[in-house]
Amino acid sequence: MNIIFKNALLAALLVMLILLPVFGERFYIQFVSKILIMIIFVSSLNLLVGFTGLVSLGHAAFFGSSGYVLALFSPIGTSMNLFVALLASVLCVGALGAVFGALVLRTKGIFFIMATLALGEMLFYFLHDTAFAGGSDGIYIHDRPGFNLFDWWQLDLSNVSHFYYLALILVCLVLMLIKRIMNSPFGRVISGIRVNEHRTKALGYHTYKFKLVCFVIASMIAAISGFLAAVQFGVVNPEMVGWHASGHALMMVILGGKGSILGPVLGTTTLMLVEEIFQVATKHWQLLTGIVVVLVALFFPNGLAGLNFPKKRSET
Amino acid sequence: MRSVIEARGLTKCFAGLTAVSDVSLSCERGVIHAVIGPNGAGKSTLINLLSGDLKPTSGKILIDGLDVTGSGSSQMSLLGVGRSYQRSNIYPSLTVAENCNIAVQSRFEISMRFLGAVSAYPEVEVGTKRVLERVGLESVVHKKVSQLSHGEQRQVEIALALATNPKVLLLDEPLAGMGAEESLRIVELLRSIRSEFAVILVEHDMDAVFALADTLTVMLNGQVIEAGVPQDIRSSARVQAAYLGEDFSD
Amino acid sequence: MDAATVLIQAMNGIQYGLLLFLVASGLTLIFGIMGVINIAHGSFYMIGAYLAWSLMGWVGSFWIGLIVGVTVALLLGLVLEWLFIRFLYDRDHLQQVLVTYGLILIFSELRSMIWGDDVHSVPIPELLSGSIQLTENLAYPIYRLWLSGVCIVIAILMFLGIQHTRLGMMIRAGESDREMTKSLGINIGLVYRFIFALGVSLAAFSGMISAPISSVFPGMGSQVLIVSFVVVVIGGLGSIKGAMIAALLVGLIDTFGKVIHLDIFGVNIFPEMSGMSIFALMALILMLRPQGLFGREH
Ligand SMILES: Nc1ncnc2c1ncn2[C@@H]1O[C@H](COP(=O)(O)OP(=O)(O)OP(=O)(O)O)[C@@H](O)[C@H]1O
Ligand SMILES: [Mg+2]
């Protein structure tokens, strides 16, 4: 695809997204907000799967636990400062990511897949079986965090448009951040690890350290999306950390095309739209989703982004 | 002169097989030390031990007189040991320049920076350019490595070793699979840079070995059967026997 | 806890461990020989249990149901390999995970369409109902003993197969190698298909024989899959011995975790958090020996 054409397309898309709340119905604003949140989550997973070559099946642990941090710490009756609450969630989840990462990164390949899945499920059982986090019902967030600019302007996250714009801004920031990371000296090492970890080690890099930093960054970005999801739904429950949430995100990564910045945007939007259609069509929509996933993984392993560049298809 | 790298009684056992047995050797700056021996003699295993890719079962490795036994490959690299692999071990889906960038960048303490753009650190590009000129890959800088010829890929392999600015260069069959012209070029290259490194060279191409080596170690079944200067090796009966009558005396 | 309870719980733990071994060894088998990570493995366990439930209803006999069920699973495995799995041998783990994840979604939805979402129970077959009197006031259900016995027999057969065949050698090596398989001079396509089907029927068989002692419910596939992963990580890949020991360890810890009461600072740690105990063990192993108890360094 031509670069100018691509940029024009992106600009047009952005303008449409900015104008959506002006013209769109409430349902659509909320639905697009959901997609935006998911894009952040899938992008963070793509940082691991697509850019570093780490196939994690437990990434939802960070998505869900971020919501739990918000739910557990937000006081009842008053609304927390949005930025304080977001920062707290991101930092707590970053710490969790460091602990989980330090453990699972000691393994490789299929072991890594199993270990991430198992550690994620450990968190699931922890939240599900103990009373302090509301057990299987989860916790309601009664007072959403907000932001007050000199008593002059109030960001109210129960307002769908306000929430939508917050999500839109965060998506743009996250995508820019990931682009920057991949274009940095650190990103260079990360690509090296993905393509050939053995040689990268032999060139003097302590690859474990780099993977750990990347894992923590990915968990913190996932925390942003989990935070937004908790705010949007006003409730958190153990399913948010469960492995089906991780698997779902993994489907979007590969559907969009792993290892590109915009792949997650494409993959997430497509799958969520398709699932929405399936859900209207039948009660057993998961069957159709499953078939789509199998077919995509078998026949289009480079995803939708790969379709535009047939040359790239041979390379894995 | 003091040896830059030294192995003392290196031994490596795999399950049921001693691939390297009590091997000692040393190499100084400006010296090319060749290790030869028939297939399966344990040459690559020896290189892997010296580079930290494998941990020795027993024995010691010293760099500049310092005991560094047990260091992993990344530590060894930082200690100044650069290596090439017998089977190309490079980044096939990246370009030649990107391959070298990764290697060069390892010598600058910038690799943990994840917010600045790579363009803010031109020293890496400068280093890459220098290395690629040296090995003669300037014309394919922006080609993907997987699209290069086999010989060119071997050159990338050597470029990666040089790009980390090592004191010790471990080359495991650098000429394997190269055409005659490319071979000559690499021999020429090694000749021109020999003064800067301590080189340990594993090679089957005897013309190249005798053209380059200052000293030799001959291995058979994991053991050193002969060591010395080229004339002595040529005339050694044991070496001739090991190579099953291959003619060594020109 | 008195000695009698400990004994009963230990036997339950071992029996659970043996069952886990059957499921986990199927995973290892498929990965060890074909290099495929099959996360749909738990679905076959679930399908087995549901098959046991409905076959009991149709044919009325647990035993005939067992034979029919295993046959169905074998056929299912053959078809699945032909339809999907054979395309995965040269693909990377990500694609394998996704295809088999898609299969999970498909099977769980099919299960919902065919059998509904209710929890069921399967009666213990008449022949094995009743208990053995261990001491005066201590009895143990015969069915559980039989189940342990069956698992042990299968485990022994498996050990023998792995020790004495070249296919087994590959499993021990912990990695698949098509070249090596080719060197066996047999039609690998067919061997792979058969091995996959064998793994599927092993999982389904485990699900069927466990149905009478645990309920049959929709989430049972995921549950057993995750615990099997824990077993494989603890035991080390490619080691059937490791899988056996890890499975017993996990079985015992999980069982005892549910009955031990441990108060720390007045808070009852067990059994509320017993679900986590096996994961804690796995985390510990990852810390101390990331290649697993019996795995080679990878
Ligand atoms: N990782 C390993 N595990 C088990 N055995 C090994 C391993 N690596 C090498 N060997 C064995 O050690 C012996 C020496 O191998 P090595 O590769 O060092 O030989 P070499 O001298 O480099 O041979 P060539 O000239 O063919 O490259 C061989 O018998 C080989 O099979
Ligand atoms: Mg060799």
Regarding the beta carbon of B86 and ligand 1, being less than 6 Å apart is answered yes
From chain A residues 38-97, the ones with a CB under 8 A of any chain C CB are: 49, 55, 57
**Is A23 domain-assigned?**
no
* B175-184 contacts at long range (C-beta below 8 A, 24 or more positions apart): B175/B203, B175/B204, B175/B205, B175/B208, B176/B86, B176/B204, B177/B150, B177/B151, B178/B150, B178/B151, B178/B154, B179/B151, B182/B151, B182/B152, B182/B154, B182/B155, B183/B208
- Whether residues A202 and B77 touch (CB distance < 8 A) is answered with yes
pLDDT tens string C237-253: 767 888 899 999 999 99
**Is B249 domain-assigned?**
no
* A69-75 contacts at long range (C-beta below 8 A, 24 or more positions apart): A69/A93, A69/A223, A69/A227, A70/A141, A70/A145, A70/A227, A70/A230, A70/A231, A70/A236, A71/A133, A71/A134, A71/A138, A71/A139, A71/A140, A71/A141, A71/A230, A71/A235, A71/A236, A72/A133, A72/A139, A74/A141, A74/A143, A74/A145, A75/A143
Nearest residue in C to A252, CA atom: C98
Into how many domains does chain A fold?
Answer: 1
The Cα C64–Cα C45 span in angstroms is 18
- Whether residues B121 and A185 touch (CB distance < 8 A) is answered with yes
Ligand positioned closest to the Cα atom of B38: 1
pLDDT at C176 over 80: no
Which of C23, C91, C105, C176 to mutate against chain A (most A CBs within 10 Å)? C105
Residue A210 has a pLDDT of 97
- Whether residues A284 and C109 touch (CB distance < 8 A) is answered with yes
Residue A314 has a pLDDT of 41
Ligand 2 ion: nearby residues, β-carbon < 5 Å: B 44, 86
Ligand positioned closest to the Cα atom of B172: 2
Residue B2: exposed, middle, or buried by beta-carbon count in 10 A (0-12, 13-18, 19+)? exposed
How many CB atoms neighbour CB C190 within 10 A?
A: 9
Using 70 as the pLDDT threshold, list the residues of chain B that sit under it: 1, 244-250
The Cα B238–Cα B235 span in angstroms is 9
Residue C241 has a pLDDT of 84
Distance from Cα B172 to the centre of ligand 2, integer Å: 7
Higher pLDDT, C173 or B101: B101
Residue A178: which residues within 8 A CB-CB, separation 6 or more? Answer: A43, A46, A47, A221, A261
Q: How many CB pairs under 8 A join A and C?
A: 138
**Is A169 domain-assigned?**
yes
Residue A312 has a pLDDT of 41
pLDDT band at C122 (very low <50, low <70, confident <90, very high): confident
Among B13, B43, B48, the mutation site with the greatest number of ligand 1 atoms within 8 A of its Cβ is: B43
The Cα B57–Cα A236 span in angstroms is 53
Higher pLDDT, A131 or A173: A173
Q: Where are the domains of chain C?
A: 3-118+132-288
Into how many domains does chain B fold?
Answer: 1
Give the pair of three-digit tokens for residue A132.
């302090």
The CATH number for B147's domain is 3.40.50.300
Nearest residue in A to C96, CA atom: A297
Q: By three-state DSSP, how is residue B83 classified?
A: strand
Residue A315 has a pLDDT of 40
Residue B20: which residues within 8 A CB-CB, separation 6 or more? Answer: B10, B11, B12, B42, B45, B46, B49, B56, B222
pLDDT tens string A160-196: 888 999 999 999 999 999 999 999 999 999 999 999 9
The values of phi and psi at residue A257, to 5°, are 115, 110
Q: Angle A243-256/A263-281 helices, nearest 10 degrees?
A: 120
- Whether residues C230 and A251 touch (CB distance < 8 A) is answered with no
pLDDT band at C172 (very low <50, low <70, confident <90, very high): low
Q: Does any CB of chain B come closer than 8 Å to the CB of residue A179?
A: no
How far does the CA of residue A119 sit from the closest CA of chain C (Å)?
A: 7
pLDDT tens string C31-44: 877 888 999 999 99
**Is A90 domain-assigned?**
yes
Query: What is the value of pTM for the model shown?
Result: 0.92
The values of phi and psi at residue C141, to 5°, are -60, 135
How far does the CA of residue A121 sit from the closest CA of chain C (Å)?
A: 8
Range of the domain at B61: 5-242
Nearest residue in A to B166, CA atom: A203
Per CATH, the number for C3-118+132-288 is 1.10.3470
Q: Which H or E element spans position A59? A: none
pLDDT band at A145 (very low <50, low <70, confident <90, very high): confident
- Give B116's DSSP letter: S
Range of the domain at A169: 29-242
Among B11, B17, B201, the mutation site with the greatest number of ligand 1 atoms within 8 A of its Cβ is: B17
The Cα B136–Cα B155 span in angstroms is 8
How far does the CA of residue B85 sit from the closest CA of chain A (Å)?
A: 10
The Cα B216–Cα A73 span in angstroms is 70
The Cα C171–Cα C30 span in angstroms is 9
The Cα A184–Cα B120 span in angstroms is 9
3-state secondary structure chain C: CCHHHHHHHHHHHHHHHHHHHHHHHHHHHHHHHHCCCCCCHHHHHHHHHHHHHHHHHHHCCHHHHHHHHHHHHHHHHHHHHHHCHHHHCCCCHHHHHHHHHHHHHHHHHHHHHHHCCCCECCCCCHHHCCEEEEECCEEEEHHHHHHHHHHHHHHHHHHHHHHHCHHHHHHHHCCCCHHHHHHCCCCHHHHHHHHHHHHHHHHHHHHHHHCCCCCECCCHHHHHHHHHHHHHHHHCCCCHHHHHHHHHHHHHHHHHHHHCCCEECCEECCCCCHHHHHHHHHHHHHHHCCCCCCCCCC
